[in-house]
Structure 1
Amino acid sequence: MDIPEEDYAYVDGNAAAGPLQELLAVEPTTVRGQCTACGRMSMLADTRVYLGGPGLVMRCRGCGATLMSLVSTPGATRLDVSGITCLSFAIDD
C-alpha cells in the first residue's frame, strides 16, 4: 500500500545539520568507501590520489575508477563523490 507523501511529517534540511556535522567531523583517511565500479571497500587513505590539476582526483586502487574529485575555486569548493556507492564512518564509543 502506497502512502501519499503529504501524509508523512517532515521538516526542512536544516534538521540534518547537527547529525551531519557530527558525522563529517572525523579523520577523513579512516572513512571507508565502496567503489561504484567494482564494489571494492577500502579506507580513503588506500586510494590513489592524483594532484596537479585544478584540484585532486581519488581513484580506486582495485580498478582505477574515479571515486571522488575535489576542486576549489575562489567562490566555492566542489566535492564529487559519484564514484562511491556509500561511505562508512567508524564510531568511537
Structure 2
Amino acid sequence: MTDPRVDGNELAGPLREVFAVDITAALCRCAGCGRAGAVAELQVYDRAPGLVGRCPECSAVVLRLVRGPGRAWLDLSGLSYVECPMPDN
C-alpha cells in the first residue's frame, strides 16, 4: 500500500488559478455569525498597519491583509469559506 499524500507543492497550480480571480467578487461566510456575502461587502478599516475586513452583520474580524517589503500576510481565519467564481475550462 502506498502513501496517498503528497506535499503542499501540489497546491501551486490550483491555488494560482484561484488567486488570479477578482477576490472581491468571491462569496465568503463569516465564521462568527454565518452571514454570507461578497468580499466587496466587508467593512474595511485601513488606518492600521494593513487592512482589516469586518463582517457587516456582526463586526467580527474576518480578513486581515498586511504588506511588507517583498511579501504579504493574509489571514482569513474569520471566514468559514471563500467561494471564488472561476471560468470554465
Cα offset, 1:75, TM superposition: 5.2
5+ long unaligned stretches in structure 1: 1-5
Match of 1:43 in 2: 38
TM (normalized to structure 2)? 0.89
Give RMSD over aligned pairs: 1.6
Distance 1:92 1:75 in 2: 30
Of residues 17-26 and 67-76 in structure 1, the stretch that sits farther from structure 2 once superposed is 67-76
Q: Any idea what SS the aligned residue of 2:15 has?
A: helix
Post-superposition CA distance 1:6-51 (Å, at most 9, x none): 8542221111111111111101110111000000001000010001
Q: Any idea what SS the aligned residue of 1:19 has?
A: helix
When the two structures are aligned, how many residues end up with a matched partner? Answer: 88
Match of 1:56 in 2: 51
Q: Which has the larger radius of gyration?
A: 1
Match of 2:18 in 1: 23
More strand by share: 2
5+ long unaligned stretches in structure 2: none
Q: 1:85 aligns with which of 80, 83, 89?
A: 80
Higher relative contact order (CA 8 A, sep 6+): 2
Identity of aligned residues (%): 41
Cα offset, 1:92, TM superposition: 2.6
